């Protein structure tokens, strides 16, 4: 209950801040200060910058490399890391006050994008990328695949460079699937049949796990929605109560309520993977951030026995989302060029490769294709699934509506109620109610 209240307060605060900021204009960063065409890593030698980021597990590695960055550029860096929830609450507050006490910020365009763009809280990185005087000729932005570059844009502007690449897939127990005598499922119907075949709650084996907290469900649910030919919004109208969306919500709810562990409707985002690691769950669908722990025998009872496969299809083709956290330039910073130097270094080929070798989901193709990674890769099946997913993924795991956090809460509640057992007409009433609320947000955007 405390968590629910806190989230509600955060949503209300974010919405209020967005309204307050509307019409207030954005920052003053209009692109690179230096307009020449000669790149020099030492141009801003002696400057100091501050990096304010959500800590998704990368901050420790970032701090460990700062001496190298300072040696390269002469720029000193202070990092202010924050847990994701606190960061999401505090960043809009600081941007609303036009704070210039940090120069680099973290953003997840799928969640922040439209709200931040509307309020002028992004710096367009395009002028930096296209200026040879401020971008290292070896940076190679094209090394980020087309789908990933698309996920870095909001309203046709590149607003961030990702340090991670998230996409959905299905994790499953190879031994239980083999015992059931079934091939690897490729459709949602086949996954439901496989979950039913291995579901044995008397022995604490549950068929399938999913996220349950409303705000968190949209990430895995997006794969259900697209495979059932649904959309969040169609022609400017909220569309989470269409027959296609309702079918997707039904499948999500039934898969979890029939075959999920007790309490699934309250599952936060890491819980399905934790239940899987404990050996309690046959399969779960979620993002590609868990392989390192699941394959660590000191943390996982199923290490060495984990299978990976792409998200299923249904009436339409499979379509996982693609997105992730990245670095952007605070539009109120007075050190935009130095901030861009840091972003280049932190998202360079070498930094991405170093992180990839620790199991990090790199957004750069060169990191996945490097001989060092291929030689060290202990889960080539997982690697192939992720790379295949990036070819069909869509950069949309949430309704394209602001405020993003509230839109996620609205759309995710229908999935949550499905997990609580709502189905048929009762689930449709919930979808109709939530669709009206989502339409209200859409109308407020105009």
Q: What's the pLDDT score for residue 84?
A: 84
Residue 370 pLDDT more than 80?
Answer: yes
CA distances from residue 173 to 18, 42, 51, 299, 361 in whole angstroms, order as listed: 44, 52, 40, 16, 22
CA distance 254 to 419: 7
Are 365 and 145 contacting, i.e. CB atoms less than 8 angstroms apart?
Answer: yes
CA distance 388 to 233: 26
Q: Read off the pLDDT of each residue in 138-149 and give the average, rounded to a whole number.
A: 92
Q: What's the pLDDT score for residue 112?
A: 86
When pLDDT is cut at 50, 70 and 90, the band that residue 57 belongs to is confident
Q: What's the pLDDT score for residue 245?
A: 98
CA distance 175 to 49: 51
CA distance 400 to 388: 25
When pLDDT is cut at 50, 70 and 90, the band that residue 17 belongs to is very low
Residue 136 pLDDT more than 60?
Answer: yes
CA distance 292 to 376: 13
Topology, domain 170-322+397-445: D-Maltodextrin-Binding Protein; domain 2 (3.40.190)
- Helix (H) or strand (E) run with residue 181 in it: none
Higher pLDDT, 218 or 26: 218
CATH match of 48-165+323-392 with 3.40.190.10: yes
Q: What's the pLDDT score for residue 387?
A: 87
Q: What's the pLDDT score for residue 225?
A: 97
- Cα 243 from chain centroid (whole Å): 27
Read off the pTM. Answer: 0.81
pLDDT in tens, 405-418: 899 999 999 999 99
pLDDT in tens, 280-325: 999 999 999 899 899 999 999 999 999 999 999 999 999 898 888 9
- Helix (H) or strand (E) run with residue 382 in it: helix 380-392
CA angle at 394 for the pair 390 and 396, rounded to the nearest 5°:
135
Residue 255 pLDDT more than 60?
Answer: yes
What residue ranges in 157-255 does DSSP mark as E strands? Answer: 157-158, 161-162, 166-173, 233-234, 237-238
Q: What's the pLDDT score for residue 27?
A: 58
On the question of a common fold for 48-165+323-392 and 170-322+397-445, the answer reads yes
pLDDT in tens, 210-248: 999 998 999 999 999 999 999 999 999 999 999 999 999
Would you kindly state where each structural domain of the chain is located, as residue ranges? 48-165+323-392, 170-322+397-445
Q: Of the given ranges (93-97, 211-215, 219-223, 393-397), which has the lowest mean pLDDT?
A: 393-397
When pLDDT is cut at 50, 70 and 90, the band that residue 5 belongs to is very low
Give the relative orientation of helices 188-198 and 243-259 as an angle to the nearest 10 degrees.
10
Closest by alpha carbon to 280, among 300, 307, 265, 257? 300
| Mean per-residue pLDDT over the chain, rounded | 91
Map tokens 């083709």 to a residue.
Answer: 317
Spell out the residues 6+ positions from residue 378 whose beta carbon is closer than 8 angstroms to its own: 295
CA distance 74 to 128: 20
């Amino acid at each position: 209950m405390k968590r629910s209240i806190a989230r509600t307060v955060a949503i209300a605060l974010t919405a209020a801040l967005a309204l307050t900021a509307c019409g207030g204009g954005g920052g003053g960063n209009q692109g690179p200060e230096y307009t020449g065409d000669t790149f020099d890593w030492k141009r801003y030698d002696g400057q100091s910058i501050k990096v304010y980021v959500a800590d998704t597990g990368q901050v420790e590695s970032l701090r460990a490399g700062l001496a190298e960055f300072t040696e390269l550029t002469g720029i000193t860096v202070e990092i202010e890391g924050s847990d994701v929830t606190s960061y999401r609450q505090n960043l809009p507050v600081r941007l609303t006050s036009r704070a210039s006490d940090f120069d680099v910020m973290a953003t997840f365009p799928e969640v922040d994008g439209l709200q931040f763009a509307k309020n002028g809280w992004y710096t367009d990185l395009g002028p930096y990328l296209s200026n040879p005087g401020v971008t290292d000729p070896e940076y190679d932005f094209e090394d980020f695949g087309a789908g990933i570059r698309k996920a870095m844009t909001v309203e046709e502007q590149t607003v961030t460079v990702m340090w991670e690449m998230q996409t959905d897939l299905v994790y499953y127990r190879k031994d239980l699937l083999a015992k059931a005598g079934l091939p690897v499922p490729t459709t949602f119907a086949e996954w439901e049949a496989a979950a039913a075949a291995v579901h044995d709650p008397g022995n604490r084996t549950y068929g399938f796990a999913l996220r349950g907290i409303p705000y968190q469900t949209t990430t895995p649910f997006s794969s259900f929605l697209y495979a059932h030919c649904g959309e969040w919004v169609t022609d400017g109208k909220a569309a989470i109560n269409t027959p296609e969306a309702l079918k997707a919500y039904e499948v999500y709810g039934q898969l979890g309520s029939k075959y999920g562990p007790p309490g699934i409707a309250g599952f936060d985002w890491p819980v399905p993977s934790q239940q899987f690691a404990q050996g309690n769950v046959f399969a779960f669908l979620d993002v590609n951030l868990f392989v390192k722990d699941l394959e660590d025998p000191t943390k996982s009872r199923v290490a060495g026995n984990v299978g990976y496969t792409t998200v299923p299809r249904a009436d339409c083709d499979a379509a996982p989302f693609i997105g992730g956290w990245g670095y952007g330039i605070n539009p109120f910073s007075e050190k935009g060029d130095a901030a861009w130097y840091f972003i280049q270094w932190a998202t360079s080929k070498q930094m991405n490769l170093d992180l990839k070798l620790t199991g990090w989901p790199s957004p750069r193709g060169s990191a996945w294709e490097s001989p060092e990674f291929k030689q060290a890769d202990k889960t080539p099946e997982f690697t192939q699934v992720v790379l295949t997913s990036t070819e069909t993924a869509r950069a949309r795991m949430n309704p394209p509506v602001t405020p993003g956090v509230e839109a996620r809460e609205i759309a995710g509640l229908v999935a949550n109620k499905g997990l609580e057992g709502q189905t048929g007409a009762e689930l449709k009433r919930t979808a109709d109610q939530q669709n009206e609320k989502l339409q209200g947000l859409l109308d407020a955007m105009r």
